[in-house]
């Protein structure tokens, strides 16, 4: 996926880098002003801060400047903003959609964001403050407060006139929401229906009353799930009294899905929420340190277990070389099981209702694959050392490790989900540590029985 | 994420299961006909085949039946279809969007799909066959052939009339595509623009000529990336002569993103493309077997390396208990590095142009964390055995393992991407095996130097 997609950007990045080296300002200006903000944001990842500043200043259109700021990742954004005078920032923000302003202000230091808000036009700043009052990850936090809402007794003709005069700032005006006299959401009409209905009809006569809506405090992932599941382009957001206060559009939903999937993967390796590749080496190290601790403690625990057997088991020197393969086979199949369960739960193809059928299936798969690989590795050991009790110990060790891993690898995320803990967060270190220690213990216990003390 | 989302489905699943146990057919019929197909498809994952059959037969609306079939995962679909007479299937298919028919036919055995096609109305079946002629994962394979295209000299008034009379089957009619007299794509107009423009204007006078389009053979992930990056609701698909042949809508794009992210995660643990949770235990085992082989071979290689040192190194029994922690720390940080790079490449936040800066950063992080954990584990070893040369060997072993893993964990996916091989596919086993063998080798080489033969 990655390789092919990046090709067009690769050309753009290399062209801009070459022009920057040559100092070919007129050409750069042409390219920068012709490129889409989304593409420029990717170029910015690959050029130095002073060059980012230069390129940014070459942008002629103020809306384009705002669009680029919205597309940048957090650390590039913060670096760039440092060099922009506050008054220019205010001007740029005033040309941006409200939800994007709220997003960007949320990233800035408190003091700076307050100073910008105070300099913005009152109407804009009030809308932004409203959005900022909702949680970051909720429908309220990601909605746009601009939408088309008309009274239910409006006629089609009046509706079209109102579209011509107002609502120029609505981002994706493909649905008209219908409200009663108190502003409560009662129906929805698509622009398409409006166009094909006789001008004198009233909205309430042909609107659809079956409206999916979410509340301001609904989690953003639930919002995304609803938009995706029911194939709609925008979902209306209502407050506690069912008054329409905003909409979440499908483009934001796509961003949520892109981000969530990435976050799930990163969480599973302990890099977690909001990780950004452009963080400094030290901040990245600090962030990745804690998760590695679980593996470290597990490893230390294994060393005690092994030390115990090492001191008492005569054939320890023969058995030890197989520790990596016994533990590794368990670790690998455990990673498969937990990834399958974590993703299955996230996409809805697995359900926590079916907890036991899922776990037994993974256990059973672990057993089957454990028999296969136990045989393979046992035969290799026999070939290497010609000691049948060693070969059997190794084979059974692999079998034990792989079936335990299938069981624990699926059990842990299922239990986490039941307890309403995000299964992606803590599955991996918890699982691999437990599997490691138990595997080693089983392997040597079996060997002790078979080979004697 | 998963836990909360599944709650509404959980209630639905449990209600339906309870009603099935009680045989409360009238209540079931009511619920089934009131539920959205997307929700029913999730219920179907948790009920037995005969009950799936019963529930399916309770659906009154033939379009709802088709919608449900489209939402089901492959194995549930195949099981269910087995019990539906071909003539009923044909009827259901004739009420479905063309792209969905093509999808479902692609899943059926060739003979069955041919027999269904031959019984369908000629016009429908021809459209479906056209779609089937494109690659599964290309724009042609996922597009809908229904769209609104009008000549560039059409007036607004004529355009609105044409919307009223025709194009009833267009799924998401929010853009009108403008073509020249040869059917070549020349512009696009949003429905919104149409509504607010005077009736006598001609489309060519106000259309936007800056149209993003893709070719029938464009990879579906590239299509999704374009829709997401430029925030559009549908992208037109053109053939080699720039003639408009279909559109890909944003709802299909969301499905691609949901699927791709999951597939990337599954690929990284070797469960790969098109894996489905409902596959039988044996099929799942077979699918997961090959990837585990890489780890198995790596483990066997380690056993030879260890055996070599075990035979020659006097303090082997002391050193062996720390093998798991030395290897594990490398494996864990390597998983972090490769996941960060694989996802960074997929989302565009990392670019293969910057290959060396990414790899050196990961190497540097590996060194920093290696120093931290090398110290921690070295001190534990010293505390455990009071043998300073052992403690230093273990500490340096951890340092070597973690920095090698940071380097290899980022190098491998970068190199794969450069070679146009999907970096998610082969990163993990390749990486962990290499890291394991090199780590063990370094650990014992250091120990041999420090502790003597």
Burial class (CB in 10 A: 0-12, 13-18, 19+), B386: exposed
CATH 3.10.580.10 fits B149-268, yes or no: yes
Asked if B384 and A352 come within 8 Å (Cβ–Cβ), the reply is no
Q: How confident is the model at residue A38 (pLDDT cuts 50, 70, 90)?
A: confident
Query: Whole-angstrom Cα distance, residue A230 to residue B251?
Result: 9
pLDDT at A5: 43
Please tell me which of the candidates B4, B296, B302 has its beta carbon nearest to residue A376: B296
Interval A244-255: pLDDT, tens:
999 998 888 888
- The pLDDT of residue B35: 87
Q: Is the confidence at residue A237, as pLDDT, over 90?
A: yes
- pTM to 2 decimal places: 0.73
From the candidates A9, A18, A303, A385, which should be mutated to test the interface with B, based on the most B CB atoms within 10 A? A303
pLDDT of residue A207: 92
Of the listed ranges A36-50, A435-449, B7-21, B263-277, the one predicted with least confidence: B263-277
Q: Reply yes or no on whether the pLDDT at B303 is more than 90.
A: no
Q: What is the pLDDT of residue B4?
A: 40
Tokens linked to A53 = 């500043």
The reply to whether residue A331 touches residue B332, judged by beta carbons under 8 angstroms, is no
| Mean pLDDT of all residues belonging to chain B | 85
pLDDT digits (tens, 9 = 90+) for A69-128: 988 887 788 888 888 888 898 999 888 888 888 888 888 888 888 888 888 888 778 888
Of B9, B195, B305, the CB nearest to A195: B195
Average pLDDT over residues A333-350: 83
Fold that domain B2-136 belongs to in CATH: MgtE N-terminal fold (1.25.60)
Q: Using pLDDT thresholds of 50, 70 and 90, give the confidence band for residue B71.
A: confident
Q: Residue B100, Cα to own-chain centre: how many angstroms?
A: 19
Domain ranges of chain A: 2-136, 149-255, 281-451
Q: For residue A207, give the nearest of A145, A146, A154, A164 by alpha carbon.
A: A154
CATH superfamily of B281-451: SLC41 divalent cation transporters, integral membrane domain (1.10.357.20)
Chain B neighbors of A348, CB-CB under 8 A: 2, 5-6, 9, 42
* Residues 6+ positions from B410 with CB-CB distance below 8 Å: B337, B338, B340, B341, B358, B359, B361, B362, B363
CATH architecture of A149-255: Roll (3.10)
Lowest mean per-residue pLDDT among A354-363, A405-414, B158-167, B427-436: B427-436
**Are A381 and B429 in contact (CB < 8 Å)?**
no
| H or E stretch at A234 | strand A234-238
CB-nearest to A351 from B6, B296, B350 is B6
* The pLDDT value given to residue B133: 82
pLDDT digits (tens, 9 = 90+) for B81-90: 888 888 898 9
DSSP string for residues in A13-56: HHHHHHHHHHT-HHHHHHHHHHS-HHHHHHHHHTS-HHHHHHHH
Q: What is the mean pLDDT of residues A183-188?
A: 90
Interface probe with A: pick from B324, B340, B366, B421, most Cβ of A within 10 Å: B324
The whole-number average pLDDT for the span B306-310 is: 85
Sort out which chain A residues have CB atoms less than 8 A from B317's CB and list them. 310, 316-317, 320
Summarize pLDDT for B406-450 with one digit per residue, the tens: 999 999 889 888 888 878 765 666 777 788 888 989 999 999 888
To the nearest whole percent, how much of chain B has pLDDT over 70?
Answer: 93
Token pair 């108190």 is found at A182
- pLDDT at residue A173 in the model: 64
Q: What is the pLDDT of residue B172?
A: 61
Q: Give ipTM to 2 decimals.
A: 0.73
How many angstroms separate the CA atoms of B6 and B43, rounded? 11
Q: Do domains A2-136 and A281-451 have the same CATH topology?
A: no
- Token match 């489209």: residue? B70
Least confident window among A2-6, A32-36, B81-85, B356-360 = A2-6
Query: Which pLDDT belongs to residue A1?
Result: 34
> What b-and-e string marks burial along B132-162, b requiring 16 or more CB atoms within 10 Å of the CB?
bebeeebbbbbbbbbbbbbbeebbbebbbee
Q: What percent of chain A has pLDDT over 70?
A: 93
**Where residue B11 falls among pLDDT bands split at 50, 70, 90?**
confident
For testing the chain A interface, which of B195, B267, B336, B382 should be mutated: the one with the most A CBs within 10 Å?
A: B336
Quick check: A429 pLDDT over 70?
no
Nearest to B13 among A39, A269, A353 (CB): A353
Cross-chain Cβ contact A9/B348 below 8 Å: yes
| Per-residue model confidence as pLDDT tens digits over A374-428 | 999 999 999 988 889 999 999 999 999 999 999 999 998 898 888 888 787 656 6
pLDDT band (50, 70, 90) for residue A265: confident
Alpha-carbon distance values, A2 to A9, A276, A301, B107, B159 (Å): 11, 17, 39, 27, 41
Q: What is the pLDDT of residues A382-395, one digit of tens each?
A: 998 888 999 999 99
Gap from A118 CA to chain B (nearest CA, Å): 31
Reported as a pLDDT band with limits 50, 70 and 90, residue A273 is: low
Q: Using CA atoms, how far apart are residues A237 and A213, in angstroms rounded to an integer?
A: 6
| CA B351 to each of CA A11, A412, B144, B168, B426: distance values in angstroms, whole numbers, following the listed order | 11, 35, 32, 44, 19
- Which pLDDT belongs to residue A7? 58
Q: A148 falls in which pLDDT band (50, 70, 90)?
A: confident
- A348 Rama sector, left if φ>0, alpha if ψ -120 to 50, beta otherwise: left
Tokens of A449: 């029985």
Tokens of B299: 């483990």
Note whether B381 and B322 are within 8 A (CB).
yes
Most confident of A123-132, A191-200, A328-337, B367-376: B367-376
Query: What is d(CA B140, CA B220) in angstroms, rounded to the nearest whole number?
Result: 9
pLDDT greater than 50 at residue B319: yes
- Beta carbons of A379 and B34 less than 8 angstroms apart: no
Q: Do B251 and A231 touch (CB under 8 A)?
A: yes
Chain A positions touching B374 (Cβ under 8 A) are: none
CA distance B318 to B77: 57
Query: What is the arithmetic mean of pLDDT over A8-23?
Result: 86
Q: What is the DSSP string of B377-437?
A: HHHHHHHHH--HHHHHHHHHHHHHHHHHHHHHHHHHHHHHHHTTS-HHHHHHHHHHHHHHH
CB contacts < 8 A (A, B): 420
Looking at CA atoms only, how far is residue B349 from chain A in angstroms?
A: 7
Name the residue of chain A whose CA is nearest to B301's CA: A325
DSSP state letter for A320? G
Residue B241 CA: distances (Å) to CA of B126, B134, B185, B226: 21, 16, 10, 21
Which region among A76-90, A274-288, B269-283 has the lowest average model confidence (pLDDT)? B269-283
- Segment A416-442 mean pLDDT: 80
Give tens-digit pLDDT for B240-257. 888 899 999 888 888 888
């Amino acid at each position: 996926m990655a390789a092919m997609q990046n090709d067009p950007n690769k050309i753009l990045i290399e062209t801009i880098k070459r022009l920057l080296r040559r100092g070919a300002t007129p050409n750069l200006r042409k390219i920068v002003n012709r490129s889409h903000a989304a593409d420029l944001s990717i170029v910015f990842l690959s050029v130095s801060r002073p060059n980012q500043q230069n390129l940014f200043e070459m942008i002629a259109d103020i809306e384009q400047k705002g669009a680029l700021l919205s597309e940048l990742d957090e650390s590039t954004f913060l670096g760039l903003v440092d060099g922009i005078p506050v008054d220019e920032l205010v001007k740029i923000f005033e040309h941006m959609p409200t939800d994007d302003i709220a997003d960007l202000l949320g990233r800035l230091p408190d003091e700076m964001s307050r100073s910008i808000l105070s300099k913005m036009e009152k109407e804009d700043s009030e809308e932004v403050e409203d959005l900022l009052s909702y949680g970051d990850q909720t429908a309220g936090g990601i909605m746009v407060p601009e939408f088309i809402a008309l009274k239910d007794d409006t006629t089609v003709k009046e509706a079209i006139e109102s579209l011509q005069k107002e609502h120029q700032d609505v981002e994706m005006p493909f649905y008209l929401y219908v409200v009663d006299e108190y502003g409560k959401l009662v129906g929805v009409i698509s622009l398409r229906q409006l166009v094909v209905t006789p001008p004198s009809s009233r909205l309430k006569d042909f609107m659809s009353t079956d409206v999916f809506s979410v509340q301001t405090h609904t989690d953003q992932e639930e919002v995304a799930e609803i938009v995706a599941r029911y194939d709609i382009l925008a979902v209306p957001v209502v407050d506690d009294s069912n008054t329409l206060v905003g909409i979440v559009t499908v483009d934001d939903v796509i961003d949520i899905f892109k981000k969530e999937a990435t976050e799930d993967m990163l969480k599973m390796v302990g890099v977690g929420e909001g990780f950004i590749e452009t963080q400094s080496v030290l901040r990245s190290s600090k962030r990745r340190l804690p998760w590695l601790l679980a593996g470290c403690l597990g490893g230390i625990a294994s060393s005690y277990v092994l030390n115990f057997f090492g001191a008492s088991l005569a054939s320890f020197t023969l058995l030890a070389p197989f520790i990596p393969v016994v533990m590794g086979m368990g670790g690998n199949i455990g990673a498969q099981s937990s990834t399958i369960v974590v993703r299955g739960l996230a996409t809805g193809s697995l359900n926590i209702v079916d907890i036991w059928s899922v776990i037994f299936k993974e256990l059973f798969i672990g057993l089957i694959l454990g028999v296969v690989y136990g045989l393979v590795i046992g035969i290799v050991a026999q070939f290497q050392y010609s000691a049948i009790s060693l070969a059997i110990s190794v084979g059974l060790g692999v079998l034990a490790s792989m079936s335990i891993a299938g069981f624990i690898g699926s059990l842990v995320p299922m239990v986490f989900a039941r307890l309403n803990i995000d299964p992606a967060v803590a599955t991996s270190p918890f699982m691999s540590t437990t599997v490691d220690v138990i595997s080693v213990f089983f392997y040597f216990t079996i060997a002790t029985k078979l080979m004697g003390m």
